[in-house]
Amino acid sequence: MAETLEIRGVRILKAFLDRPAQEALVEDLRRVVRAAPFVTPVTRWGKEMSVRMTSAGRYGWITDRRGYRYEARHPDGQPWPPIPDRVLRIWDEVTGLDRRPDCCLVNHYREGARMGLHQDRDEADFGWPVVSVSLGESALFRIGNTERGGKTESVWLDSGDVAVMGGPARLLFHGVDRIRPGSSTLLHGGGRLNLTLRVVD
């Protein structure tokens, strides 16, 4: 059974996915990326982000000079592919909810990539949790507070770990300081994939 950590209300299920399950999930994500290729997003201020992104589901999360938002189509114009069944089963198991996510955001981190402290607050109802799945190289995950500033805590998320942010932890600031190159052989060429599952409507 996976070890469970709790940091500021964020539930982290260590080694939730074994190696065969991780490999199967990567195959599913390859099909997602073929249908909806990764893009390198820019912020509303025109700054290029260090991660590449794509999505699956009814909506995809995007950012460009128009700002942060959900869209029903990839920037190339095609609808997003469906969320893979294996991903939905993870959501079902860790949340126990009947409602399933509308969006699976896929972030690809390479060496040197990071994600600044932020809140997930582009959704209509913060009562639904956010579920994060880590695949590939380990990431130093930083957890803050519901307001900017103050002390933070960090934990390494390894391949196969699943984090659940719900209840009072739903709007905590969080981010990724760095990844640890060479810490996993799951992805050809290294790097990390992070899946973020959210209810949008």
pLDDT tens-place values along the chain, 201 residues long:
579 999 999 999 999 999 999 999 999 999 999 999 999 999 888 889 999 999 999 999 999 889 899 999 999 999 999 999 999 999 999 999 999 999 999 999 999 999 999 999 999 999 999 999 999 999 999 999 999 999 999 999 999 999 999 999 999 999 999 999 999 999 999 999 999 999 999
Q: 176: domain range?
A: 3-198
- Cα separation, 101 vs 58, in Å, equals 9
CATH of the domain at 179: 2.60.120.590
Q: How many domains does the chain have?
A: 1
Q: What is the pTM of this model?
A: 0.95
The predicted pLDDT at position 46 comes to: 87
- Nearest-CA neighbor of 83 among 12, 149, 133, 136? 133
The predicted pLDDT at position 118 comes to: 95
- Nearest-CA neighbor of 201 among 111, 103, 120? 103
